[in-house]
Amino acid sequence: MKQAIILAAGEGRRLRPFTVNKPKAMIHIAGKPIIRYILDSLAQKGIRDIIFIVGYQREQIFDYIGDGKQFGVNVKFITQDKQLGTAHALSQAENTTDNEFLVLPGDKLIFPETLTQILSIKPPAVLIKRESSPSRYGVATVRDGKLEEILEKPALPEGNLINTGIYAFEKSIFNYIGINLDMPEVLNVMLRNGQPVAALETNQPWLDVVYPWDILTLNAFILQNTISLQNGIIEAGVSLTGHISIGKGTKIHPNTCIIGPVVIGEGCEIGPNVCIFPATSIANNVVIDPFSEIKNSVLSDDVHISSGSVIQESVIDRGSYIGGHFCAFSEEAEVKIDSEIYNVKIGAMIGEGCHIGNGVVAHPGLIAGNFCQVKSLKMISGRLPDRSLAV
């Protein structure tokens, strides 16, 4: 099997504000977009013929991947004009597939060892995994290694085996899609027509980003394997402990303390007198001014953190400016996403292009949309829609 189809057309509404201006597949984890991890895994397994099904904000995927040669793969793009479902997305590739191919979600972290398992079994096959919160996914009923049914997001799941969205198919799969829009429906049709589908359970990592705080969970997981690289300028009096990767052109100024695992991109200015604690990812061209503390957080490109700020378990998207003495402490908070309510331990989730004034305090669980402006000395909480003005 030498071909893979990656379904990357979706938006990821529950990840807003981080998916308003980019597709879910382009969410950055530990300095790289999710699709990069998938491409690297496929290339390692010798699968270099890649078909991307794209749709929402597709230009960003085009710009990042190009022809794929820089990642060691050959890429073709097919547009799903309306994001009607995963089966509908797959049907767009009917005229371009080999006789056998993999189908992968473009918004999950998938590793080479996971692909090894699905490649070891004859299609049609689905990879399943045990999950502590199965009602968020399609729940699979399996007997003797064969799929019996997939029930999508049941309120009261009877088991904890979920559909990972990783499949091995033959071209005959297109005979079963018909009017069905989602892959679980197609699999159930196959089963009702007497077509057996193998179900292979994996114990390998398969990481999903559904809600904004999931970015922190995935980031911490990836950083466990950080390799120490010091390509920047480390000035006297800097303390580096653990695995820390520092990109080209980055300057770490005196009396700064960094405890890994930490990844810092290119062209950053850090310190002096800054503390960066484990599980923090800092992208390119980020400025962190003196006497600031960053812990278990993700800062995207071109973020500026002004002096005396404390940021814990937070995500700050590209181009945001954070004024001096900003506080985003992490505590247990009740967060509402659409009609769902969750209790999670987080700091602040801040969209791109925001401008936060001096002395602002963000209550734990804040979700600030893109291009928000907050005047100095304000306390902000709950959810701020895009382009909000807090005065």
Q: What is the pLDDT of residues 2-45, one digit of tens each?
A: 899 999 888 888 899 999 989 988 999 988 899 999 999 999 89
> 335-346 pLDDT, tens per residue?
988 888 889 999
What integer pLDDT is reported at residue 14 of this predicted model?
Answer: 87
> 51-94 pLDDT, tens per residue?
999 988 889 898 898 888 888 889 999 998 887 888 899 989 88
- Give residue for tokens 């397994």: 45
User: Higher model confidence: residue 368 or residue 120?
Assistant: 368
CB 97 within 8 A of CB 61: no
What integer pLDDT is reported at residue 340 of this predicted model?
Answer: 81
In this structure, of 134-148, 260-274, 322-336, the range with the lowest mean pLDDT score is 134-148
- Distances from the Cα of 239 to the Cα of 257, 276, 282, angstroms: 5, 10, 17
What integer pLDDT is reported at residue 120 of this predicted model?
Answer: 85
What integer pLDDT is reported at residue 140 of this predicted model?
Answer: 85
Mean of per-residue pLDDT scores for the chain: 91
Helix 34-44 × helix 112-119 angle, to 10° = 50
> Which class does domain 3-208 fall in?
alpha beta
**Mean local confidence (pLDDT), 197-216:** 88
What are 28's two structure tokens? 């950055």
Q: Which helix (DSSP H) or strand (DSSP E) does residue 108 occupy?
A: strand 108-110
Does the fold of domain 221-390 match that of domain 3-208?
no
What integer pLDDT is reported at residue 329 of this predicted model?
Answer: 94
Q: Kindly state the percentage of the chain with pLDDT values over 70.
A: 100
Residue 135 has pLDDT above 90, yes or no: no
What integer pLDDT is reported at residue 130 of this predicted model?
Answer: 86
Nearest to 251 by CA among 274, 233, 275: 233
Report CA 360 to chain centroid distance, whole Å: 28
What integer pLDDT is reported at residue 154 of this predicted model?
Answer: 73
Report CA 22 to chain centroid distance, whole Å: 12
Coil, helix or strand for 228? coil
Q: Is the domain defined by 221-390 classed in CATH 3.40.50.920?
A: no
**Mean local confidence (pLDDT), 157-164:** 83
Phi, psi (deg, nearest 5) at residue 204: -85, 160
The structural domains of the chain, with segments of one domain joined by +, span 3-208, 221-390
Coil, helix or strand for 163? strand
- How far is Cα 186 from Cα 183, in angstroms, rounded to an integer? 5
pLDDT band at 315 (very low <50, low <70, confident <90, very high): very high
